Amino acid sequence: MTKTVHIIGAGISGLSAAVRLANENLKVHVHEATQQAGGRCRSYFDAATNLTIDNGNHLLLSGNRHAVAYARSIGTQAGLVGPKSAQFPFVDLRTGQRWQLDLGDGRLPLWVFDEARRVPDTGLFDYLALMPLIWAAKSKLVGDAIPCKGTLYERLVQPLLFAALNVDPPEGSAGLAGAVVRETLLAGGQACRPLIARDGLSAVLVEPAIRLLQQKGASIAFGHELRAFSMSGDRVGELQFGDDTVAIGPECVVVLAVPPRPASALLPGLKTPTKFRAIVNAHFRFDPPRDMPPILGVVGGLVEWLFAFPQRLSITISNGDRLVDMPREELAQAIWRDICKAGSVAGELPPWQIVRERRATFEATPEQNALRPGAQTGWKNLFLAGDWTDTGLPATIEGSVRSGNRAADLVLALR
């Protein structure tokens, strides 16, 4: 009879598993290596801008149903805010052309039949050419499944898949891209409404989970890094944290919700993705003009998405490995130039911060996707969670929550 669960890692996957299990009245102990929960999805005070910023701008879509349900379960669904319908304004920095993609709020992608709502200069057949992606095999490349050129590609498919896969789409996994398209574009505008944690990732997705866990009697130990497992037959026997060791009795189960590198160090022989891609975010202390949309898609420049927050403009650049060694000031200047054009703002470079997450996501290629393990391990009381486990999705909050829920369900199935 399982009564106690030790969860290693307080990122979104570990927290979602913890919340689900605490709600089922299991005794939950969370162990986090750092002093802060949230992992790759967290906020912190930044002295350079004198603002609380997120490590990265995180965009959810209303079709991310597990992520939205997780927010609901911790009482913060209202903190995920976005426009009433799935409208995406875009600007092309090369031509200055602006347009708005209006996916409406239906359950079917009927907008493709309406010339006024399609991407400008695209026709119905351009959209039909995307069909092979929908059920593409995991081993296939996006570039072998659909045409990676032309107006529709440049103005919609490339920005969407670049952000979702964090690789240049032609080299990405068509299977993962297909999952994204099925759950968003193909599910109509009601699944594509952009959602942002406006008050910060930690305030909306992390701290309320910690509070709920504490109310339910769970313990959360920060600065408590798991250094090694001791195995006993086909079970985990002990957790070794350096200064202390926790015995894992017959009623105890462990969920390992750490990134791939620590997971493979803790479990030698575990198959995990081995290649990663960076995401670059930059934050500028600047009051957005009143008419600036909360999210603006940018093509033809360095910047890909421009987010307007109170007192702050922030940008995201995916697949950012080429920028990780660029001098920071030079990068800030280049980004600010793009922002001025895209956002129609002017002025000297305001106070700024650049956050370069080198291993933001595993590389969403067919080769790396094939290295993702399931949640079960060779040990009966050890399950895996994390955006890099085999969720069928790229490394996203939605994938993390699904992985946490799946690990929790496996724990509950032992009862």
Ligand X SMILES: Cc1cc2nc3c(=O)[nH]c(=O)nc-3n(C[C@H](O)[C@H](O)[C@H](O)COP(=O)(O)OP(=O)(O)OC[C@H]3O[C@@H](n4cnc5c(N)ncnc54)[C@H](O)[C@@H]3O)c2cc1C
Contact 212, 19 (CB under 8 A): yes
Tell me how far apart the terminal alpha carbons of the chain are, to the nearest angstrom: 5
Least gap, CB of 219 to ligand X (angstroms): 14
Residues in region 357-396 near ligand X by CB under 6 A: 357, 360-361, 386-387, 395-396
- Which residue reads 């996707």 in tokens? 369
Which whole-number Å values give the CA distances from 108 to 30, 182, 282, in the listed order?
41, 11, 35
Say how many residues touch ligand X, by CB under 6 A.
37
Distance CA 109, CA 111 (A): 5
Residues in region 251-270 near ligand X by CB under 6 A: 257-259, 262
Q: Which of 12, 176, 246, 248 binds ligand X (CB under 6 A)?
A: 12
Contact 54, 201 (CB under 8 A): yes
Query: Which H helix or E strand runs over 304?
Result: none
Distance CA 44, CA 26 (A): 31
- Which residue reads 């949309």 in tokens? 293
Contact 390, 373 (CB under 8 A): yes
Distance CA 313, CA 287 (A): 7
Least gap, CB of 92 to ligand X (angstroms): 22
Residues in region 107-136 near ligand X by CB under 6 A: none
Question: Identity (one letter) of the amino acid at 185?
Answer: L
x/- letters, 195..234, toward ligand X (CB under 6 A): ------------------------------xx--------
Residues in region 31-90 near ligand X by CB under 6 A: 31-34, 39-41, 55-56, 58-60
Residue closer to ligand X (CB basis): 2 or 400: 400
Q: Which of 267, 339, 397, 410 binds ligand X (CB under 6 A)?
A: 397
- Which residue reads 């911060």 in tokens? 353
CA angle 85, 87, 91 (to 5 degrees): 170
Residue closer to ligand X (CB basis): 357 or 409: 357
Residue closer to ligand X (CB basis): 142 or 220: 220
Least gap, CB of 357 to ligand X (angstroms): 4
x/- letters, 312..351, toward ligand X (CB under 6 A): ----------------------------------------
Can you give the binding site for ligand X, defined by CB under 6 A?
8-14, 31-34, 39-41, 55-56, 58-60, 225-226, 257-259, 262, 279, 281, 357, 360-361, 386-387, 395-398, 400
